[in-house]
Amino acid sequence: MTQRQIPHPGLDGVDRQIIAELSFDGRLSMRQLALQVHISRTAAHTRVQKLISHGVITGFGAQTDRKALGLNVSALVVVKIGDVAWGEIAAQLAQLPFVEKAQAVSGDIDIILTVSAPDHEQLSQAILRDIHTMPGVISTRSHLILDEIIGHAPGATPDAWH
């Protein structure tokens, strides 16, 4: 697990706008990006490279529709772990079939998993057979995701966070 990075002090509104545009569409060409943030193509390229080298932009990926992939049911699985290292068990959980994400959380629980499967039976098997029985897992509690609405991309909200 990487250590949380302190925001780079040189980030300005244009950098945050670039991040927001690329979060929405990672396939934008430098020309399109430059037009959208009102800077030259060279300036856009330079800023994107700076954001990558400073670890602000960590990669580019496709956004997918779970149902179009045949993953028709999703759940948030709350996991309480015993006396085991979070990083080790989280890495093991993240490698299980149908597990999309493992997140450490505060409070009386330890990990929240996002799990998606083709149907309820396979979701149930993944939770009961793979997750719940993993050594170090004390308990699980599952919450079906009924609907999902995407919020703001990082940098897309007003400049309240600089």
Q: What does the alpha-carbon distance between residue 157 and residue 28 come to, in Å, rounded to a whole number?
A: 20
What single letter denotes the amino acid at residue 139? S
Question: Looking at the DSSP assignment, which residues form a beta bridge with residue 140?
Answer: 79
160: CB partners within 8 A, 6+ apart: none
> Is pLDDT at 143 greater than 90 in this prediction?
yes
Question: Residue 122's closest CA among 130, 111, 133, 134?
Answer: 130
Mean pLDDT of the chain: 88
Two structure tokens written together for 49:
């490279």
Element (H, E) at 90: helix 86-94
Going by pLDDT thresholds of 50, 70 and 90, the confidence category of residue 5 is very low
Give me the mean pLDDT over the 138-142 stretch.
95
Question: Residue 131's closest CA among 100, 102, 96?
Answer: 96
Mean pLDDT is lowest, of 23-27, 31-35, 138-142, for 23-27
- pLDDT for 155 equals 63
Q: What angle do CA 55, 60, 61 make, to 5 degrees?
A: 140
Q: What does the alpha-carbon distance between residue 1 and residue 88 come to, in Å, rounded to a whole number?
A: 10
